[in-house]
Chains A and B, each alone.
Chain A
Amino acid sequence: MRILPFLLSLLLTVGLVYCLNRPWGQTPVMGRFLSPQHGFWQNAEPADQDFDGHIQLPGLKDKGDVYFDENLVPHVFAASRTDACYIQGYLHARFRLWQMEFQTFAASGRISELLGAGPDNGFVKYDRGMRRLGMVTAARRALEAVEEDPEAKADCDAYTAGANAYISGLRASELPLEYKLLNYAPEPWTNLKTMLFVKYMAFDLAGGDDDFQMTNAKAFFTKEQFALLYPEVQDSADPVIPKGTPFLPAHFRPRLPATVDSLYLNSTTTVTDREHAPDPDNGSNNWAVSGRKTLSGKPILCNDPHLSLTLPSIWYQMQIHTPDYNVYGVSFPGAPYVIIGFNDSCAWGITNSERDVRDYYSIKFKDETRKEYWFNGRWKEAPQRVDTIRIKGAAPLYDTVALTVFGPVLFDPTYTGFSDEASNYSYAVCWKPARKSNELRTFRVLQQVHNYSDYKEAIRTFESPGQNFAFADKAGEVALWQQGAFPAKWKEQGRFVMPGEDSSYMWQSDSIPMEENPYMLVTDENRGFVSSANQLPVDTSYPYYLGIDFPPYRGLYINRRLSSINSITAADMMTLQTDNHDVFAEMARPLLLRNIQDLRLNDNARAALRVFHDWNLNDDPNEEGPVIFNYWWSHLQKDIYDDEFSKTTLPLKRPFESTLLEALLRDTSYQFIDDVNTPQKETLPQVVTTAYLQAMNDLTEAGKEDKLTWAKNKDTWIRHNLRFASLSRPHLPIGGGVHCINAAKPLHGPSWRMIVHLTSPTEAYGIYPGGQSGNPGSAYYDTFVDKWAAGKYNPLWIMGTEDIKSQHVKWVMHFSGS
C-alpha cells in the first residue's frame, strides 16, 4: 500500500464528492442534479410518454376513471363530487406539484425560505409584507369557515388526501425539476394550503391600492389640481351596468365622521412607506350575448381573465363528470373545483370588480414597544404576534406585529415595506379578504347549477375578492352580478390613510346586501348582452362609494362592438376576444395630429408621422404605429407632469393615461401643460411636438435593436415562476396591449380565453398560454403557447360516458380505493 498517494487520491475524491454534494449559493447539488438516475434527467419525459395507470387511492369511495385527450386534458369520471375532488387533488399534484406548493409559499410569506434574502433583501421584505398583511391569519379564518361547512370540509379533505397520495408516493428522483434546482422537497398538502391559495388569489385581485401615494398627492397638490389629476369618473365612462339603470336605495347610510374635513380630507400628513402591490392591471373581460343577438338563437358566453402570464400556467384545464353534474373549464392547481367554465346547462365567467376593500389607519402608539395605542380616548392594548421568517443561508428573522381593532399594523418603524426611507409612523391595514369567509362554496355550487336562480344562490355567499360573475344558460337567461361583500363606505372613505385614533373612521357596515349589488339581467327591453372589463361598475346614481381605479377603455370598446353586431357566431366571438383595436389610441390620435407643429419636423419625423397617421389603430404584431404612439404618449405624460411631480421626493400616484387624455380633450390649456421651471408658458402644440421629437430618438434606438414592430417592441413573455429565461417562452409574436380586448402586456394578459355557445350539445372553445404539464421536461409543458399567441383556439371536447373508445382518448388512469 502506498500511503501518500492513497491519502492524496482519497482526499481528492472525497473532496470532489463533497463539493458536488452540496449547493454553492443558489446552485443545485450538482452531483445529484446531473446524475441520470437521481437528477434532472429523470424529469425528461420520453416524447411518447405513457400516462396510463392503475392507481390505488386509500379513501376513494368508489372507482373512478380519468381519460386524457391528445392535449393531456383529463376527463374525470367519478362516482361522487367528493371522489372527484379526491382525483382532482391527485391530478393537480401529479402534473403541477411544484407550482401548487410554491404559490402557497408565496401566499404565506415563505419565499426567503427557498430563495434566500434576495437582491436588496427583497424576498424578506416581500415575506414580511405578506405575513403582516395577515395572509396566514386570513387563510386560517377561511379554514374555520370550511370546517363549519360539512360539504366543503369533505371536499377539501378529499382534495388534500388526493394530493398527498401522490406526494407520499414520490421518490426523490421523481421530484419536479424545480425542487432539484432549489434543493428542497415538498411538504404534505393541507387544507390550510388550499386556503392560502384562495387568499393568494384574493391578494392578487384585491391586494393593490394607491392609498399612500394618494395621501401624499392630496397633501402636495391644491384641491383644484388634485381634482384635475385624479377625477373619480372619466368622461367616456361606460359602466358595467348601463347608465340610467335604477338602483335600490341604500339600506344603510354610513355616517361621516365629525372630523372628516379637518383630520382627513384637508389633512396634509404624508407617507413614505411603500407596499408590494400585485400587477395593477390584473383584470379581465367577460361578456354574454343573448340568443336575440346570435345566429343560433342561443346565448354565447365569453371570458378571458388577465393575470400574470406564467409557466406553469395558473390554470389547469379539465372536465369533471359525476352522476350529479358534468362540468368543463379551468381549475386552480391548489384548490378543488372548476373555477371558470360550463356544465350541461349553464356557463359562467368572472372578472375582477376592482372595488377598494383595503384601507389604512394611522396608529398612535404610546411608545416604541407598540403595546398600547390611542383609541377612543384611552390607551388600548395591542396584542402582538411574532412571525418567524426563515431565510435560506441566514439566521431567521423574528418579526413582531402589533394587532389593532382595525387589523394588523402592516407598516411601523421596523418595517417600511419597499421604501429605503426610515419612518416613525405606524399604519394598520383593514382588508376585507382577511375576514372569515367561504369562497370555495360558490364554485362547488356553480359546478352543478341548472338555471339563473341556482346561479344567484351559488354566488350569494361569495365575499372576496369581489367579482363580476357573468352567466348564461341554455334556457336563454343572460345575467351579470357584481358580487362580493363590499363595505358600505362614505364618499372617499379609505381613498387616503385614515385617522386611527377613534372608531368613527372604521367601516360601519361590513357588507352591502347582495340585492343592492350592481347587476343586470338581459330582457327584451334592454341591449341584449352583459359585459364587464373592470371598468366603473355603475353610474353616479349608485348610493355607495366604490373607489376610483377602474380602467375605462376595454369595456367601452366591448360594448361598442357588441351593440353593433348581430347574428353572432362563436367565430365572431373569437375575433372579438383577440381584437387588437386600441380605443385609447383612437381617441388620442386626432388630438396628437391636431397639435403637431409641422415646421419643427425633419423628413424622417414626417415619414414616421405618416406611418402613425395611416396606422389602422390595431396593436397588431407587425405594426409600427403602436410603437410610435407608445413612445410619444409616454414622453407627453412625462413632459406634462414631471415638472410638478418632481418638486417632491414623496411617492405620488401618477394620473391614469385616461385622465391625461380626457383632460386634454376637454381643455387644451390644461394647467399642467405649462412647464413650471421655465419663465414662458408652454402650449399644447409645443409639448405635443417636443414629445414627438423625443419619441423619434427612441424610435431610432429601437431601430438599432430591431424593435420597430409592436410585438418585438412590447416583447411578451410567458415567464417561469422562478424567472429562468430558458424555462420561459420569451419574445412571443403577439399584439394587443393594456387598452385592447387582447390585453397581452409584456408579462401579463389573457390567461385563459373561453367561448361557450349554449347550444345542445354545447359548443365550446378555449385556450391558455401554457400546457397541462408543469414539467419543463414534458412535451406538454407549453403545448398551447404558440396557438394562444396566434389567437387560435382549441375546441373543448366534452366527453360522454359513451366516448371511452373515442380517438380523442389517448391515455386512461383507473382509480380505485383500497
Chain B
Amino acid sequence: MVVKFFVTTVLIGLLSFIGGLFLPWWTIAVAAFAVSALIPQQPLTAFFAGFLALFLLWGGMALVIDLANGSILSTRVAGILPLHDSSWALVLVTALVGSLVGGGGALTAAFLQKRKPKAKMK
C-alpha cells in the first residue's frame, strides 16, 4: 500500500510536471485524476497522494526558483498579494494551491472505483 501511494504520488508529480511544460496550469488536476483513475486507492489516500505530489512539485519548484533568485521577486509579489513581503508564505501558498487542485483531481477519480468490500487483514 505504501508502494502504491508512493508510485501514485510520483506519477502524479511527473505527469503534472510534463503537462505544465506544454499545457495550461490546470493540467495538474487532469494529471492527478488520470493517475488516480488508473491506480485505485482509498479516496482519502488518493487525495493525499494528489495533495502531496503537487505540494512537493509546486512548492519544490517555487523553492528552487526562489533560492536561485535570492527571493528578489517573491518578496515583491508577496507585497502585492499581500502576504507581508514574506517569501516563505508565498512558497507555501503556491504549494497549497497546487496541492488542493491536485488532491481534488485525485479524489474525484478515486470515487470512480467500486466500493471495495472491507479488506480483510491477513
Contacts and interface: CB of A to CB of B under 8 A. Distances in A.
B contact patch SS: helix
B107 A35 contact: no
Nearest to B93: A34
A41 B75 CA distance: 11
A700 interface: no
A386 interface: no
A779 B108 contact: no
A805 interface: no
Contacts of B101: 13, 16-17, 20, 31
A49 to B, nearest CB: 9
A41 B72 CA distance: 11
5 contacts: A6-B111, A13-B104, A17-B101, A35-B98, A37-B25
Contacts of A181: 80
Interface string B65-77: 1101110111111
A726 B61 contact: no
Contacts of A2: 111, 115
B6 interface: no
Interface of B: 17, 20-21, 24-26, 29, 33, 43, 58, 61-62, 65-66, 68-70, 72-80, 82, 85, 93-94, 97-98, 100-101, 104-105, 107-108, 111-115
Contact of B74 (A20, A44, A781): A44
| Interface-centre pick from A5, A17, A37 (highest chain B CB count, 10 A) | A37
A3 to B, nearest CB: 8
B103 to A, nearest CB: 9
Contacts, number: 124
Given A31-B25, A41-B62, A781 B72 contact: yes
Given A13-B29, A44-B69, A37 B76 contact: no
Contact of A37 (B21, B74, B100, B104): B21
B42 to A, nearest CB: 12
Contact of A776 (B25, B73, B82, B113): B73
A182 B45 CA distance: 38
Nearest to B112: A1
B87 to A, nearest CB: 10
A534 B98 CA distance: 56
A16 B100 contact: yes
A260 interface: no
Nearest to B115: A2
A724 B26 contact: no
A198 B107 CA distance: 56
Nearest to A779: B72
Nearest to A6: B111
B24 A43 contact: no
B12 to A, nearest CB: 14
B72 A10 contact: no
B73 A40 contact: yes
A43 B68 CA distance: 12
B69 A46 contact: yes
A43 B76 CA distance: 12
A588 interface: no
Interface of A: 1-2, 5-6, 9-10, 12-13, 16-17, 20-21, 30-32, 34-48, 177, 181, 724-727, 776-779, 781
Nearest to A29: B25
B98 A34 contact: yes
Nearest to B58: A36
B72 A778 contact: yes
Nearest to A41: B65
A5 B107 CA distance: 9
A621 to B, nearest CB: 25
Contact of A21 (B26, B85, B98, B104): B26
A475 to B, nearest CB: 47
B93 A41 contact: no
Contacts of A48: 68
A724 B73 contact: no
A502 to B, nearest CB: 55
Query: Which 10 A/B pairs are nearest by Cβ-Cβ distance?
Result: A726-B79, A13-B104, A777-B73, A6-B111, A36-B61, A37-B20, A44-B69, A35-B25, A46-B68, A44-B73
Contacts of B100: 16
A776 B76 CA distance: 8
A20 B54 CA distance: 15
B73 A13 contact: no
B6 to A, nearest CB: 22
Contact of A727 (B68, B69, B76, B108): B76
A16 B104 contact: yes
Nearest to A2: B111
Contacts of B98: 34-35
B75 A30 contact: no
B26 A41 contact: no
Contacts of B82: 726
Contacts of B25: 21, 31-32, 35, 37-39
Contacts of B75: 726
A30 B97 CA distance: 9
A6 B104 CA distance: 11
Contact of B77 (A32, A35, A40, A779): A40
Contacts of A776: 72-73, 76
A5 B73 contact: no
A37 B61 contact: yes
Contact of B80 (A1, A30, A47, A726): A726
A725 B76 CA distance: 9
A17 B108 CA distance: 13
A35 B96 CA distance: 11
Contact of A12 (B20, B73, B79, B104): B104
A551 B65 CA distance: 50
A777 B79 contact: no
Contacts of B69: 44-47, 777
B22 to A, nearest CB: 10
Given A38-B20, A777-B69, A13 B80 contact: no
Contact of B104 (A9, A42, A726, A727): A9
Contacts of A35: 20, 25, 58, 94, 98
Given A45-B69, A46-B69, A727-B80, 18 more contacts: A2-B111, A5-B43, A6-B112, A9-B107, A10-B108, A13-B29, A32-B24, A32-B25, A34-B97, A39-B25, A40-B73, A44-B65, A44-B69, A47-B68, A47-B69, A177-B73, A724-B79, A727-B79
A174 to B, nearest CB: 13
Nearest to B105: A13
A45 B94 CA distance: 18
B29 to A, nearest CB: 5
A48 B76 CA distance: 19
Contacts of A31: 25-26, 97, 101
Nearest to B82: A726
A249 to B, nearest CB: 60
A1 B68 contact: no
Contacts of A38: 20, 24-25
Contact of B85 (A30, A47, A726, A781): A726
A17 B54 CA distance: 14
B72 A724 contact: no
Nearest to A32: B25
B43 to A, nearest CB: 7
Given A20-B101, A35-B20, A41-B61, A725 B73 contact: no
